Amino acid sequence: MALADADIAFATDLFSELGKISIRKMFGGMCLYLDGAVFALMSSDGTLYLKSKGNIVTELADDGATQFHNMPYWSIPEAALDDPQEACTLARRTIASLT
């Protein structure tokens, strides 16, 4: 199943505070880019994941996040999905974990 336009709008709105977000649809889902680099993805079922490495992965897992297959993407905790400021703070932290 492909993502609905509403799913795409939700994700781009959620992270709009980060700056200019671009997307690329693929495999029924999409990747989200900030400044040309992938920082998140949304699977075809509408689950939103942040690309993460290092210590933040443990924090995400402790908050109930699940890993996307065998890749370095972890689902966003429910509370952050309801709060764009919290989602952007978390995204900034996960983006920092990639460098």
3-class DSSP assignment, residue 43: coil
User: Residues with Cβ < 8 Å from 97, sequence gap 6 or more?
Assistant: 52, 53, 54, 55, 56, 57
Exposure string over 47-78, b if 16+ CB within 10 A, otherwise e? bbbbbbeeebbebbeeeebeebeeebbbbbbe
pLDDT digits (tens, 9 = 90+) for 5-58: 999 999 999 999 999 999 999 989 999 999 999 999 999 999 999 999 999 999
Of residues 26, 18, 84, the one with CA closest to residue 76? 84
Parse the chain into domains and list their residue ranges.
5-97
Q: Residue 44: count other Cβ atoms within 10 Å of its Cβ.
A: 14
Is pLDDT at 1 greater than 80 in this prediction?
Answer: no
Which residues, in sequence order, are bridge partners of residue 29?
Answer: 26
CATH number assigned to the domain covering 5-97? 3.30.1460.30
